Amino acid sequence: MSDTEQPAESGTHDHHDHDHEGPGYATPQAAIEEAEPERTAYVMGLHVGQDVDAPDFLAVVDVDPDSDTYSEIINRVTMPNKGDELHHFGWNACSSSCHMEGLERRHLVIPGQRSSRIHIVDTKERRDPELTKVIEPEAVYEHDLSAPHTVHCIPDGEILISMLGDADGDLPGGFLELNDDFEVQGRWDPPGEIEMNYDYWYQPRQNVMLSTEWAAPKTYYPGFDLDDVEDGKYGQQLNFWDWEAGTVEQTIDLGEDGLIPLEARFLHTPESTHGYVGAALSSNIIHFHESDGEYHAEPVIEFDDREHEGWDMPVPALVTDILISMDDRYLFGSNWLHGEVWMYDISDPSNPRKADSISIGGYFGDIEQVQGRDIVAGPQMLQLSLDGERLYWTTSLFSSWDNQFFPEEAENGSVMLKADVDPRKGTMSLDRDFLVDFGDLPEGPARAHEIRWPDGDCTSDVWQ
């Protein structure tokens, strides 16, 4: 473990007891009431796995409907090296640091999944961000870690990154900590606490962190192989950590109900112990919560596999992303292979009720055409406006998996789409006037992945 002060040592506190001084919002409700509608989106753009000789980039997308460049890529920050496979990214500070005077939600921390290189981008000029620092992979390998994934700010202004492999791309993974000057501090966790890693979310008021499991980088980098599942090379466990101590206190093995548990989301209210995990290959949504001093987990939404003439096995939905609206009322998710975005009412967290869904094609249903563009892959990474009225998504999962299941993503590039959401009625409708085409770039088509807003979003803000 690094000798850096553990996050909660700065003092878990009650937001009612102090003035809001730092970045973000004092409460989830304040985020809903005080945030302006999103005008700018930051989106990962990739050329990895394509016949395009260019580095990955951060795309600046205009999402201001009153702008002349609405739904266009208006700027790009090009990375200095090729082959990074930019994937997930995060902010240096969020609402969990709202007590930290002088700290700003200003810098994006952008890891390369394949390169283990970590990029720092200054967004002071929102529509003209600037790359200011690169942490080279050797600084990561020193701590026997590789393949960075989820980036969360932690309350003191430091940054924690889940790492999916050791320095050789094998297991185990762990967590890397950066200080507020973007210097590598070392491992956050004692080695040996977990084998596999993927996403994580912490709930400091409950002194708990949850981490999920994908596989060793050497397993998933080349693409998906069902034999690897049968050989137990993919994860199926949820790991609940003591947030202050940085140690695993409880592990729940989900068995076949929870094959490849990916995105982890606690409800936003910091008092809650309820949350959800999307089990990609099992195509289940797992609800977890604490009672009697321990966590419990069970599937509460199940998507059936479907027969397809082009497959010799039933096609799983492949739940690849989920998110919770800022008011904790709705759970949204994507079934990448089935081609659906869905919306469930989670007012009763143990008993979700389907509200609506949209099909854009995937392996089933009609292939949608938006602004004259055929949508060739299913919905993947999601992002919701803070007021819960606009849902955006992209269509690329991971380069080698894209090439295996939707090879047109490499040939034509990804798109970013949008649905208008009515939270009062619990409905969604595809906005056919909105399309960001990552297939139409000077260097050639690109993949689009995770989306973030400058003022915080439903998949990165945590409250202390």
Structure confidence by residue, pLDDT tens digits, 60-87: 999 999 999 999 999 999 999 999 999 9
pLDDT band at 366; cut points 50, 70, 90? confident
Average confidence (pLDDT) over 264-281: 98
Mean pLDDT of 167-193: 97
Using a pLDDT cut of 90, give the percent of the chain over it. 91
Give me the pLDDT at residue 199, please: 98
Instruction: Give the pLDDT of residue 97.
Output: 87
Res. 18 pLDDT band, cuts 50 70 90: low
Class of residue 354 by CB neighbours under 10 A (exposed 0-12, middle 13-18, buried 19+): exposed
Residue 11 pLDDT exceeds 60: no
User: Average pLDDT of 232-259?
Assistant: 98
Q: What is the mean pLDDT of residues 340-353?
A: 98
Taking the C-alpha atoms of residue 134 and residue 137, their distance in angstroms, rounded to an integer, is 9
pLDDT tens digit string along 405-449? 999 999 999 999 999 999 999 999 999 999 999 999 999 999 999
Task: Give the rounded percent of residues in the chain with a pLDDT score beyond 70.
Answer: 96
User: What pLDDT score does 95 carry?
Assistant: 92
pLDDT (tens digit per residue) in 287-313: 999 999 999 999 999 999 999 998 999
Write the pLDDT tens digit of every residue in 154-166. 998 999 999 999 9
- Average pLDDT of the residues of the chain: 94
For 391, other C-beta atoms within 10 Å of its C-beta total 26
Phi first, then psi: what are they for 218, rounded to 5°?
Answer: -65, -20
Sheet arrangement for strand 319-324? 319-324, 330-335, 340-345, 353-359
User: Which pLDDT score, from 0 to 100, does residue 346 have?
Assistant: 98
Task: Give the tens place of pLDDT for each residue, 99-124.
Answer: 888 899 999 999 999 999 999 999 99
With bands split at pLDDT 50, 70 and 90, how would you rate the model's confidence at 12? very low
Between 310-319, 359-368, 372-381, 410-419, the lowest mean confidence (pLDDT) is in 359-368
Give the pLDDT of residue 16.
47
